[in-house]
Amino acid sequence: MSMSNVDGRTLHPPTVDLRVEQQATLDRPRMKYTPMARFFFESMDFIYGKQLTMPKIKLIEILARIPYHAWEIKAYWRLTFGYHDEKIRREGLDLVKLGRLSQDNEFWHLIIAVEKIREDGIKESGFWFQFMPRVMALGYALFARLLATFNLKGAFLFNAMFEDHAEHEYAQFVKDHPELDQQPMKSDLVRQFGSHATWGDVFRHIGLDERFHRNESLREGGWVDQLAPYASLPAAVDAGPGIPLQAVGGSTRVKGDRFTGGTGTLLGPAGFAGPARPLRPA
Ligand SMILES: [Fe+2]
Ligand SMILES: [Fe+2]
């Protein structure tokens, strides 16, 4: 796995075992989705089929970036009016950083999907996989902005469900397609995301990224008891990002659930730059 943590490429400690984590996802029940989330997932299944396919992955990844952008916008508005308040500044900048990192990471997933579609020579319907995703992205952007503006906690919860769904879908996708483990990954572009030998591991890596997004969304909402830990690492290592999303001034987080202390550095050259953090607040 790549050691780089620049541009949202690597969110996990390099020692993580992707196969163990994939199985942990399959073993862990899905979150209890709200009717709204179920409607969202079922609508996508109705239009694009229940099975995950490469074009459907592309669609999901187009949408996945959007809520983080909405959070970033919301955070900046708060900062615009509350920059002088240390608590607002810290929380706002943390959310901005999380939003940026997550958007970059989701955009990598999209790039990877496009690379695989190209490699497989998949022909996509222009209407369903070019036009419709743009329409859906616009609708989803509106939804995400409204939710982030008027109910940020609800936005975190909805996104946690979106990401939980994505994590499980990827784990199942790799299980359903054992041929992916026989397909060598030769793309120089995808290698910048992670130097995996096969496409199977690329998609396991993406699935684990989705767990990161799920966990961080839950953490932002304060539901730290629902975090899904790494199965292949000691329990002391947090399932969250390898970055301390620490704001200016070297201060510790006020939400108390992301960090117990503020000692890390952002995006250090060694990749996984964050300190090992307890899963729950001390
Ligand atoms: Fe993604
Ligand atoms: Fe995601």
Which domains, from first to last, does the chain contain?
6-233 (1.20.1260.140)
Q: Are 280 and 224 in contact (CB under 8 A)?
A: yes
State the distance from the centre of ligand 2 to the C-alpha of 84, rounded, in angstroms. Answer: 32
* pLDDT at residue 272, as a whole number: 36
Task: List phi, psi (to 5°) of 243.
Answer: -115, 140
137 by Cβ neighbours in 10 Å (0-12 / 13-18 / 19+) ranks as: middle
Mapping DSSP to helix (H, G, I), strand (E, B) and coil, where does residue 207 land?
Answer: helix
* Tens digit of each residue's pLDDT (9 = 90 or more) over 58-90: 999 999 999 999 999 999 999 999 999 999 999
Q: For residue 102, which ligand has an atom nearest its CA?
A: 2
State the distance from the centre of ligand 2 to the C-alpha of 185, rounded, in angstroms. Answer: 22
* pLDDT at residue 238, as a whole number: 59
* pLDDT at residue 275, as a whole number: 35
* pLDDT at residue 14, as a whole number: 86
Mapping DSSP to helix (H, G, I), strand (E, B) and coil, where does residue 184 land?
Answer: strand
Q: Are 137 and 63 in contact (CB under 8 A)?
A: yes
**Mean of the per-residue pLDDT values of the chain:** 83
Rounded to two decimals, what is the model's pTM? 0.83
State the distance from the centre of ligand 1 to the C-alpha of 61, rounded, in angstroms. Answer: 5
Half-sphere exposure of 134 (CA within 13 A, CB side): 4
State the distance from the centre of ligand 1 to the C-alpha of 122, rounded, in angstroms. Answer: 20
d(CA 140, CA 178): 33
Percent of the chain with pLDDT over 90: 72
* Tens digit of each residue's pLDDT (9 = 90 or more) over 163-184: 999 999 999 999 999 999 999 9
**pLDDT beneath 70: ranges in the chain:** 1-7, 236-282
State the distance from the centre of ligand 2 to the C-alpha of 106, rounded, in angstroms. Answer: 6
* pLDDT at residue 161, as a whole number: 98
Contacts of 121 (CB under 8 A, 6+ apart): none
